[in-house]
Each structure stands twice: as structure tokens, then as C-alpha cells.
Amino acid sequence: MDKTRVVMKHFKKNDQILFSISRQVGIPALEIRTPDYYFYSLCREIIGQQLAGSAANAIFGRFEKLFARGKVTPRCTLKLSEETIRNIGTSWAKARYIKDLA
């Protein structure tokens, strides 16, 4: 069963209002994230906040390049300085949030 149908089935059973709205507006394809990617995903969300998609993608691409083989991990993030994260195009606040998350 595809992920969107699973979500719609859940809404239908647990939240009729959200189910109704979801049917009216539709739900885009869903990406189910595994625990292995939680940190990566949260970093991507932090970097992308309040940015156009292309800018967010560019900055996150530079962020990934700070890591060996692009593997973004909390342990490796802790080794980076806030200034290093800031220099790829993030704000000081976002650099701190990412370090705090790690």
C-alpha cells in the first residue's frame, strides 16, 4: 500500500476534519524518514527555513560538502565550528541551532 493511502486511512479513522480537507486539497507524495536520517533531515529543515527552495538547496549542498562523503552526522557536526557552518551561507542563529541539535 502506498504511503499516501496509509496516511489517508489514518486521517479517516482518527481525524475526520483533516481527512475531509486532505481529500479536497490532496496530499503530495510523502517521504517516510527513518531514524538514520532524522539528524540529516532536521539540519535540512533548519537550513531551509524562510528561504526559497533553490537557495536552501544550494546552501544545504555546501553543508553536505563539509562532511566526508557527504555523510551528515551529529558527531562530525560537533567538530565543525559555528563559523564554518556560517561561512556556507547560513545565519549565525542557524549555525547555533545545528550545533545545538548535534
- Indicate the Cα dihedral angle 45, 59, 95, 64, nearest 10°: 80
Q: Among residues 65, 68, 60, which one has the least CA distance to residue 98?
A: 60
Q: What is the pLDDT of residues 24-62, one digit of tens each?
A: 887 766 666 778 889 999 999 999 999 999 999 999 999
For the chain, the domains span: 1-32, 35-101
Give the CATH fold of the 35-101 domain: Endonuclease III; domain 1 (1.10.340)
CA atoms of 61 and 55, how far apart (whole Å): 10
CA atoms of 42 and 45, how far apart (whole Å): 5
Average pLDDT for residues 62-84, to the nearest whole number? 95
pTM of the model: 0.72
Q: What is the DSSP string of 4-16?
A: HHHHHHHHHHH-H
In this predicted structure, what is the pLDDT of residue 29? 64
